[in-house]
Amino acid sequence: MILEGKRLLITGVITRDSIAYHAAEQAQKEGAEVVLSSFGRVRRMTERAAQRLPQPADVLELDVNKPEDLDALTYYAFGNLRIADSPANCAPSLHVSGVYMSSFIFLDEQREKFPFFFTWATCIALSTLTTKQHYFIDIATGFLMAVIMYWIFHRLVNYRAAGGLQLSR
């Protein structure tokens, strides 16, 4: 099943005739865990529809015009993220090394863009600390891995050599 082990938040389920209802139903048939969102007077209809799914689904109160609903959704999402991606599987952070590698590409061509992308990569790296998904050592080893990979594949190996892939001297 293509969605086995995935969790989906689906909005727009009001009745069994809703397109979103059929999307939720199909997602469950493909192995996903489905959570629905609704608000106000329509929520009772969504809860009734949720009970008719192959596996009854939870319904979150979510009105994007209410900051407290968005806070609750953020709390719910981060709680599930911590269950699925514990901080124990860390060093090196592949998210960090990937984003820094992307910024290092601008060192070869378009150098004027490098400071912007390096700053952006640093912000993403720091965000992994604020969500408590990584420790500082994970960020440092991810950055080091990116530097080593950049040096190997953009400095040691010459991709633009006329005869194909060659080692630089």
Do 163 and 112 lie in one domain? The reply is yes
Q: Which domain holds residue 79?
A: 7-84
The yes-or-no verdict on residue 163 having pLDDT over 80 is no
> What one-letter code names the amino acid at 16?
R
CB of 154 closer than 8 Å to CB of 106: no
Residue 91 has pLDDT above 70, yes or no: yes
For residue 136, the model assigns a pLDDT of 84
Same domain flag for 103 and 80: no
Q: Is residue 65 part of a domain?
A: yes
Residue 2 lies in a domain: no
Whether residue 71 sits in one domain with residue 41:
yes
Q: What is d(CA 76, CA 136) in angstroms, rounded to the nearest whole number?
A: 25
142 domain residue, yes or no: yes
Interval 25-72: pLDDT, tens:
999 999 999 999 888 889 999 999 999 999 999 898 888 788 887 777
Could you give the CA distance from residue 119 to residue 44 in angstroms, rounded to a whole number?
A: 46
Look at the chain and report how many structural domains it folds into.
2
Burial tier of 102 (Cβ tally within 10 Å: 0-12, 13-18, 19+): middle
Q: Please indicate, yes or no, whether residues 30 and 63 belong to a single structural domain of this protein.
A: yes
Query: Which one of 84, 113, 148 terminates a domain?
Result: 84
Do 70 and 103 sit in the same domain of this protein?
no
Query: Do 114 and 162 share a domain, yes or no?
Result: yes
Q: Is the same domain home to 69 and 118?
A: no
Query: Which of 84, 108, 126 delimits the end of a domain?
Result: 84
- The pLDDT tens digits of the residues spanning 4-28 come to 888 888 988 998 999 999 999 999 9
For residues 67-88, average pLDDT: 70
The verdict on 12 and 74 lying in the same domain is yes
| Average pLDDT value for the chain | 82
Residues 44 and 100 in one domain: no
